[in-house]
Structure 1
Amino acid sequence: MSPILYVIRHGQTDWNAERRLQGQKDIDLNAIGREQARQNGIDLGEILTFEGQPFDFVASPLRRTRETMEIMREAMERPPKDYRTDERLVEVSFGAWEGFTLKELKISEPERLAERKAGKWDFIPPGEDAESYEILSWRVGSWLTSVERPTVCVTHGGVIRTLFRLVGDIAKEEAADIPIHQDQILKVDLDMKIIGWV
């Protein structure tokens, strides 16, 4: 039997609020993000009490995901630092586009932005380390196959989009545009191939 996952996107950062492509830049939570994390922790505490089984806790190693996890665990009255990190859960890299808004890129790189719009899932931004969602899905898929017990995961919007593709078999262009909110908890049943917000 495959384990249940509860997956949470990190709380809001100032770059999220400004609609900047954040990618793998290490940006801290803002006050709204810290409150989102606290509330998600309260809600998750109730869910896990109902589940009645021990859960593993894992986060992306970036600061915004670790801070979210620690605030959540504190709200659940658990030791804040008692979790692990996994590099495979880091956000997709937007390469040279990180730090820019789409509005800014529409002025500076309209052709490349149009290319992205025409096939967002497979598009690789400029820059040596840039990734597509497809490339991201390879490392997320590797992480998924390593999950052996019920798990709480704090990660990023792009990673969660790949879960909809990998587990829910959502069409790639639909998965690339699914809105991923920072005040919701996603439940993933790997046995039933069911994925949805709780």
Structure 2
Amino acid sequence: MTDTLTRIHDPRFLIFIRHGQTDWNREGRMQGQKDIPLNPVGQEQASGNGLRLAAYLAEAGLTAEVFDFVASPLGRTRETMERVRTGMGLDPAAYRTDDRLKELTFGAWEGFTLEELKVRDPQRVAERSRDKYGFVPPQGESYAMLRERVAGWLTEVHEPTICVAHGGVMRVLRGMLEELSPRHTAKLDVPQDRVFVWKDGAPSWI
């Protein structure tokens, strides 16, 4: 494994929003590709990010029309995107989806908390703690595998883009853009009430 992830492509202007909170997020359950809906907190986070993004674009003198809007096809990301677009005063349905932006799957671990898994599968939990980036859950994906999937999408981002996806996607995307180590990438904070901006080769938050 290399010391850092490689920036395979540098999009000029990419805005990333993680979906709002779900009950499984709140309970610490491994959600993966299970289609868990937003809870009331998550709905407020998504709507708030839409207002935050609208204010950012207005201050920068930009219009939403210059952006491609794309989301993971899972329900929680679609609802987040629709609430974001509503907060921006846009048609909530006018966006596209891309399967490559789905969350990594935890396979047989989905639905369990880490504490529950320490009882059910302590050896694999210990393996994961030693290498969270490279670890593959039973019937699941690793961050390294997810990185390959997201990299395929990233190389096609050639116009200003607003993307709504997942925590794991956010980690590997930031890892590539910021050229972080795999260990650092897997442990990145992934807030649900802030907006990540990559512009002109530098990261910022709104």
Is 1:30–2:36 an aligned residue pair? Answer: no
Q: What TM-score comes out, normalization by structure 2 length?
A: 0.91
- In structure 2, the gaps of 5 or more residues are 1-9
Within-5 A mapping of 1:51-62: 51-53=61-63, 54-62=66-74
Q: CA RMSD in A?
A: 1.2
Is 1:124–2:143 an aligned residue pair? Answer: no
1:170 to 167, 175, 180: 180
Cα distance in structure 2, aligned partners of 1:77 and 1:165: 32
Is 1:156–2:166 an aligned residue pair? Answer: yes
Which residue matches 2:23? 14
What is the CA distance between 1:58 and its match in structure 2? Answer: 0.4
Amino acid at match of 2:166: H
How much identity, in percent, do the aligned residues show? 51
What is the CA distance between 1:3 and its match in structure 2? Answer: 2.5
- Structure number with higher relative contact order (C-alpha < 8 Å, ≥ 6 residues apart): 2
What is the CA distance between 1:196 and its match in structure 2? Answer: 3.3
Deviations 1:121-140 (A, max 9, x none): 0000012xx11000000011
What is the CA distance between 1:148 and its match in structure 2? Answer: 1.6
Within-5 A mapping of 1:97-112: 97-112=109-124
| Aligned CA distance change for structure 1 residues 104 and 137 (closer, same or farther; 3 Å) | same
Which residue matches 1:91? 103
What is the CA distance between 1:51 and its match in structure 2? Answer: 4.7
Cα distance in structure 2, aligned partners of 1:2 and 1:96: 35
Cα distance in structure 2, aligned partners of 1:180 and 1:80: 24
Aligned length: 194
Which residue matches 2:204? 196
Is the Cα–Cα contact under 8 Å of residues 3 and 151 in structure 1 kept in the other structure?
Answer: no
SS at match of 1:45: helix
Deviations 1:6-28 (A, max 9, x none): 10000000000000000000010
SS at match of 1:195: strand
- In structure 1, the gaps of 5 or more residues are none
2:144 to 121, 134, 137: 134
Worse-matched range after superposition: 45-54 or 33-42: 45-54
Cα distance in structure 1, aligned partners of 2:48 and 2:175: 27
Deviations 1:15-42 (A, max 9, x none): 0000000000001000000000010000
